Amino acid sequence: MDDLKRRLARLGLTTGRGYTPKPRAQRADIEELVEGQVIETGAGACFVIERRFPLETRHGIHALGEWLPLDSSTLARLADSGDMDEIQPDQYVFLDTETTGLGGGAFAFQVGVGIVTDQEMLIKQYFLRDPAEEPAMLVLIEELLQSKKALVTFNGRTFDVPLLAGRFLLSRQRSTVRALPNLDLLGPSRRLWRRRLASCALGSLETDVLGVNRTQSDVPGSLIPYLYRQYLETRSAHDMVRVLYHNEIDLLSMVTLGVKLAQTFGRPETASLPADDRLSLGHWYQRRGMHAEAESAYRLAANEAPDAELRYDALIGLAYLLKRSGRREEALPCWIDVADLKFDTLGHVELAKHYEWHQVDLENALEWTETAITLAGSWRPGYRRTQALNELHHRQQRLIRKLSGGSDRDADSPED
C-alpha cells in the first residue's frame, strides 16, 4: 500500500486525508486577454481578432511580401489544377482551423484566415466564445471567402474544407468553401521532401526547411481540443491565447512554405538544393509532363549525389525518361553507369535488351547477359537470386540460339 501511495504521489495524485481538490481556474474572458471585437450578424455575434503584418516582415527564410510576385501558373502547377492558371497570388486566402477533435460531431471553434495584399498581410481569427456562436462565425467566413478566388491550406483539402462544408450544411447556410479551388501545400511538400525528411508535418517543415522557431507561447496541436473543452468548463481563456498564437503561426508558416515551394518548383536553377530534393523534383516534373525540367533535375541529382544509392536512383530516373522519349542511344551511358554500380542487374538487362532488339548486336547482348549472370550468382541464396538467374538464363539461351542461326519463338517480340 505504501508503494502504491508513493507511485501515485509521483504522478501528482493524493488520496485520503492528503487529498486537496485542484482549485478551479479563475474566469478570464477572451475579450479581456486579446484585443478584438464582437461583430454582430443576422445569425448572432462572433468574436474576431485582426492582426496586420508589413510585407517586409520575415517569417523564417522568407518575407511575407514574397508571396505576391509568385507566378500564377506555378501556383496552379503546385495545386495540379489548370483551372487556377489565371488566379493571381493576391486572390488567394490562407485558411486554417482549430477544432474540437477528429471524430463525428467535431466542429471548428476557431478559424484563421490570412490575406496578402499589396500593403500588408491581414490575419483574421474567428473565435467561438460559445458553440452557439457558430452560425455567426460561418456568416462572416462566407462573406470573406466570396471576395477571393482560391484557398491555400495545409491538409485542408481532406480535413479543414470538408469539416467547414459540413458545418455550413448543418447550419443551413450556403457556402463557397468547397467550390473554391484549393492549393493544399501538404501534397507538394511530400513530393519535394518526403525522400529527405522523416516528417512533412508543418511543425517539422518549420524546423527543417523554413527556419521558423515557435516561442513557448505555442501549444501542441494534439492538446488543442482538450484545452477548448477545458475552456468551456472553466471560462478561463488563458490557454485560448496560446491556441490563437498557434493558429497565427500556422498561417504565417503557410505563406513561407508556399513561397519556398513555388520558388523551388518554378526556378530550381536559382536554388541551392540538396541532391535528394533535385531527384524528387525530377520525379515531380516527370509526372507533370515537364520532361526538359525532369531531365535537368535528374542530371544534376546524379552529378551531385553524395552517395551511390542516390546516384543510382537518379540515373534510373534519367535513363527511363530518355528511353520513353525515344532517345535510347542517349540512355546507354546511364545504363552503363547503373550496371557499374552493381546494386542489381537492371542496367545489364536494359543494355542486353537494347543490343538485342534495337541495335541487333547479339554478341554484345549476350556479353551483358552473362555479366549479369555472374553478378546475380554472387548474391546470397534466396528468392531474389533464383528469380534473377532464371530470367537471365532464359535470355542467355535465346541469344545463343539466335547466334547459332536457330529459330526462336520470341524473335519477333521485342521487349519494351
Split at pLDDT 50, 70, 90, the class of 5 is: low
Nearest to 253 by CA among 121, 86, 73, 71: 121
Q: Looking at the predicted structure, is the pLDDT value of residue 231 above 60?
A: yes
From 285, 317, 343, the end of a domain falls on: 343
Write out pLDDT tens, residues 343-394. 999 999 999 999 999 999 999 999 999 999 999 999 999 999 999 999 999 9
Question: What is the predicted pLDDT for the residue at 359?
Answer: 95
Whole-angstrom Cα Rg for the chain: 30
E strands within 154-308? 182-184
What's the total number of domains in the chain?
Answer: 3
Which of 35-44, 100-109, 196-205, 289-298 has the lowest average pLDDT? 100-109
pLDDT tens by residue, 19-64: 455 555 689 999 999 999 999 999 999 999 999 999 999 999 999 9
Last residue of a domain, one of 294, 319, 343: 343
Do 183 and 305 lie in a common domain? Answer: no
**Within this chain, do residues 86 and 175 fall inside the same structural domain, yes or no?**
yes
Specify whether 232 is located in the same domain as 305.
no
Q: How far is CA 147 from CA 94, 141, 157, in A?
A: 13, 10, 20
pLDDT at 406: 73
236 SS3 class: strand
Can you say how many angstroms the Cα of residue 173 is from the centroid of all Cα atoms in its chain?
32
Q: Is residue 9 part of a domain?
A: no
Q: Is residue 24 part of a domain?
A: no
Position 276 in a domain: yes
Q: Is 12 inside a domain boundary?
A: no
What per-residue confidence (pLDDT) applies to 326?
A: 96
pLDDT in tens, 269-291: 877 899 999 999 999 999 999 99
Residue carrying the nine cell digits 473554391: 180
Considering the domain architecture, whether residues 93 and 151 belong to the same structural domain is answered as yes
The average confidence (pLDDT) of the chain is 93
| Residue 65 in domain | yes
Report if residue 16 sits inside a domain. no
For the chain, what percent of residues have pLDDT higher than 90? 87
Q: Is the pLDDT of residue 266 over 90?
A: yes
Range of the domain at 40: 30-266
State the pLDDT at residue 416.
66
Q: How far is CA 335 from the centre of its chain?
A: 31
- If asked whether residues 323 and 353 sit together in one domain, one would say no
* Domain assignment present for 7: no
- Given the DSSP bridges, would you call strands 182-184 and 150-153 parallel, antiparallel or unpaired? parallel
> What does the pLDDT read at residue 272?
85
**Mean pLDDT across the stretch 113-117?**
98
**Given 3-state DSSP classes, what are the helix, strand and coil percentages for the chain, each rounded to the nearest 5?**
55, 15, 30
Dihedral angle, C-alpha 317, 260, 202, 103, nearest 10 °: -80
Burial class of residue 368 in the structure, from the number of CB atoms within 10 Å of its CB (0-12 exposed, 13-18 middle, 19+ buried): buried
| pLDDT for the residue numbered 23 | 56
Percent of the chain with pLDDT over 70: 92
Mean pLDDT (whole number) for 397-414: 78
Residue 118's nearest CA partner among 75, 88, 83 is: 88
292 and 358 inside one domain: no
Residue 56 and residue 201 in one domain: yes
Q: What pLDDT, in 10s, does the model give residues 316-326?
A: 999 999 999 99
| Whether residues 278 and 186 fall in one domain | no
Residue 6 above 90 pLDDT?
no
Q: Is the pLDDT assigned to residue 332 strictly greater than 70?
A: yes
Cα maximum dimension of the chain? 100
CATH at 99: 3.30.420
Whether residue 395 sits in one domain with residue 252: no
User: What's the pLDDT score for residue 252?
Assistant: 98
Task: Please say which residue of 249, 266, 283 terminates a domain.
Answer: 266
Distance from C-alpha of 345 to C-alpha of 337, rounded to nearest angstrom: 12
pLDDT band at 213, cuts 50/70/90? very high
Is the pLDDT at 11 greater than 60, yes or no? no
3-state secondary structure of 51: strand
- 133 and 248 in a common domain: yes
Whether residue 214 sits in one domain with residue 80: yes
CB atoms within 10 A of CB 386: 12
Instruction: Count CA atoms closer than 13 A to 304's CA, side-chain side.
Output: 14
Residues 367 and 336 in one domain: no
